Amino acid sequence: MTNQFYDPMAPFYHLVHGDWEASIMRQGAALDGIIRDRLGEGEGRSLLDVTCGIGTQALGLSALGYRVTASDLSPASVERAEAEARERRLDIDFHVADMCKVHESYDAAFDVVYSADNAVTHLLSDTSILSALKAFYHATKPGGLCLVTMRDYDAVEKGGSQLHPFGVRSHKGVNWAVYQVWDWRDDGSDIYDFAMYFTADDGADELKTHVMRAAFYALSPRRMMGLFEQAGFTQVMRTDGVFFQPVITGVRPV
């Protein structure tokens, strides 16, 4: 389901951000600040982005001097991220990979392992998320940092069908209406089915809408912190007001 969601969205994903170039810079700077706060000052650190998408965070962090390896389950997203990196002359090592299996390719290899923009909650159970965090743990160097950003599901109204508009984006002479619809399941699972819409208005009499569908698990940040600890991380913290989502961090013990 995740591939079916992100592969067709790769050409449109920048429209979610409005000004994508500004988002790349802003998000890179925010994550850089958190990394420096948790690990201290340092140059040339190695980073693994386990859910890179079209590269929003990887591009920003590479531009700041980090040595970035980036992967995603979506081949189309990775292909676009590679093209964006080439255009910016950034040296990022991209791969198609499952975030739950990064430990199979990397053993204690990175100073920082991270997943941004709520991607971890595509895994629809505590068990699946814990399995991913254990994979992140094994890819992190002793003394290194794991970082996950997620929605604050404690602040989200749960239930029913909900419209979440992003706004109208103008791109190459076309106005794009960007919005989401969340349909909460009524089985007590805290899972909602998610549809992402991009509707193009090019001035013609008919509109064309692209829709991608997936699901998310409305895990609370506090529970995510508990899963970090179960995976083996210590000094687990939540940071608010720096990134556009809560950021959960933990350190792999030396």
Q: Note the pLDDT tens digit of each residue in 35-76.
A: 999 999 988 899 999 999 999 999 999 999 999 999 999 999
Can you tell me the mean pLDDT for 14-22? 94
Q: What is the mean pLDDT of the chain?
A: 96
Q: What angle do CA 177, 178, 179 make, to 5 degrees?
A: 120
What is residue 40's predicted lDDT score, i.e. its pLDDT?
95
What pLDDT band is residue 220 in, cutting at 50, 70 and 90? very high
Residues above pLDDT 90, as percent of the chain: 93
What is residue 18's predicted lDDT score, i.e. its pLDDT?
86
Q: What angle do CA 158, 164, 168 make, to 5 degrees?
A: 175
What pLDDT band is residue 4 in, cutting at 50, 70 and 90? confident
Q: C-alpha distances in angstroms, 181 versus 16, 196, 221? A: 14, 7, 22
What is residue 194's predicted lDDT score, i.e. its pLDDT?
96
The answer to whether the CB of 239 falls within 8 A of the CB of 142 is no
What pLDDT band is residue 206 in, cutting at 50, 70 and 90? very high
Those residues whose C-beta lies under 8 Å from the C-beta of residue 219, and which sit 6 or more positions away, are 121, 126, 129, 150, 153, 190
What is residue 43's predicted lDDT score, i.e. its pLDDT?
85
Q: Note the pLDDT tens digit of each residue in 135-151.
A: 999 999 999 999 999 99
Those residues whose C-beta lies under 8 Å from the C-beta of residue 90, and which sit 6 or more positions away, are 59, 62, 63
What is residue 14's predicted lDDT score, i.e. its pLDDT?
96
195-227 burial, b at 16+ Cβ within 10 Å, e below that, comes to ebbbebeeeeeeeeeeebebbbbbbbbeebbeb
What pLDDT band is residue 118 in, cutting at 50, 70 and 90? very high
> Domains along the chain?
2-153+219-251 (3.40.50.150), 154-217 (2.20.130)
Q: Note the pLDDT tens digit of each residue in 175-196.
A: 999 999 999 999 989 999 999 9
Residues above pLDDT 70, as percent of the chain: 99
Residue 166: both structure tokens together: 């992003």
Q: Is 85 exposed, middle or buried (0-12, 13-18, 19+ CB in 10 A)?
A: buried
What is residue 1's predicted lDDT score, i.e. its pLDDT?
61
What is residue 108's predicted lDDT score, i.e. its pLDDT?
83
Which amino acid would we find at residue 28?
A: G
